[in-house]
Amino acid sequence: MTDATIAPAAPDHRPAFRAATFGDALRSEWTKLHSVRSTFWALTVTVVLGVGLGAAISAAAAHGYDMSSASGKLSWDPTSDSLNGIAVAQLGIAVLGVLFISSEYSSGMIRASLIAVPKRGRVLAAKSLVLAAVTFVVGEVTSFAAFFAGQALISGHAPQAALGDPGVARAVVGGGLVLAALAVLSVATGALLRHPAAGIACMLAVTLVLPAIAQALPDSWRNPVTEFWPTYAGGQLTTVYHSARTLLPWPGFGVLCLFVAIVYAIAWTLLDRRDA
């Protein structure tokens, strides 16, 4: 062996370097997000579902307006109808958010990520923030497109809403906010469960299945669910007409955000403690 001929350890000639920052982590996560095709597809599905379903629901509701009861006309909410597709478009964001981190576990990439950024909370925060920002932009585009498409279809058949009407602008902007909150929830769920299928199933249950089951329950059970279930409560931000036994828009959104914060805190704690 060449043991004896190896030169003694040379002094360190490498240039000085600076500490890695949260901004570095954000840039890294942004590259990760836009460098895989699934991101593009998930966001396309979100926009198509949000705008398409919103338009279909608006058209159907407008055509039924004349035949609806007096109370139906009283609770007529063309803004909410046009934004209804967002409740389903959530799925695109839920899948994207869960996959954004759980695919790192299934591929093993998470080890490279955590070796590069061993401050694990920073990885989770950067992922959440990047996805929330992208989702917010795409969500606002979806929400505004759905609103204008829906109102165009309603116009002539039933009273339509305008952005200047009370509460309407808040509801339309709210569409993007709700999706952004959901993006953070999905990333946290993905980090918590680590497994893509489990994470997506869990998000499906939270956003669609459990609320649907609640509809089948007796009123005494159903009412608290429709009032406080986080995704339900958050959805109040996209409505203008306020019905009884639902939270007001901002408190409703507050309940969603609180729920997101709790899940995020659990995910953060476990990510920090578990072996990767």
User: Using CB under 8 A as the criterion, which residues of the chain lie in contact with other proteins when the complex forms?
Assistant: 1-3, 6-12, 14, 17-21, 24-25, 27-29, 31-32, 35-38, 103-104, 107-109, 111-119, 273, 275-276
Question: CB-wise, 24 or 227, nearer to other proteins?
Answer: 24
Q: How far apart are CA 188 and CA 193, in angstroms?
A: 9
**Min CB(10)–other proteins separation in Å:** 3
User: Closest distance between other proteins and the C-beta of residue 142, in Å?
Assistant: 24
CB of 30 to other proteins, least distance (A): 8
Task: Give min distance, CB of 185 to other proteins, in A.
Answer: 22
Nearer to other proteins, 11 or 164 (CB): 11
- The minimum distance between CB 269 and other proteins, in angstroms, equals 14
In the complex with other proteins, the residue whose CB is nearer, 74 or 115, is: 115
Using the minimum distance from each CB to other proteins, give the nearer residue, 261 or 276: 276
Residue 168, CA distances (Å) to 12, 59, 82, 134, 143 in order: 63, 19, 11, 23, 12
Using the minimum distance from each CB to other proteins, give the nearer residue, 22 or 65: 22
Question: What beta strand segments (E) does 112-259 contain?
Answer: none
In angstroms, give the least distance from the CB of 254 to other proteins.
Answer: 33
Nearer to other proteins, 6 or 70 (CB): 6
**Closest separation between CB of residue 218 and other proteins, Å?**
45
The residues, ordered by sequence, that sit 6+ positions from 236 with a Cβ below 8 Å of its Cβ are 242, 246, 247, 248, 249, 251, 252, 253
Q: How far is CA 165 from the centre of its chain?
A: 27
Cα gap 117→21, rounded to integer Å = 10
| DSSP conformational letter for 207 | I
The rounded distance, in Å, linking the Cα atoms of 166 and 148 is: 16
> In angstroms, rounded to a whole number, what is the distance separating the alpha carbons of residues 249 and 241?
10
For the bound state, the minimum distance from the C-beta of residue 2 to other proteins, rounded and expressed in Å, comes to 7
CB closer to other proteins out of 25 and 178 = 25
In three-state secondary structure terms, 91 is: helix
Count CA within 13 A, CB hemisphere, residue 275.
0
Q: Quote the longest CA-to-CA distance of the chain.
A: 96
Nearer to other proteins by Cβ, of 37 and 218: the residue is: 37
Q: How far is CA 108 from CA 35, 38, 68, 103, 112, in A?
A: 17, 18, 55, 8, 8
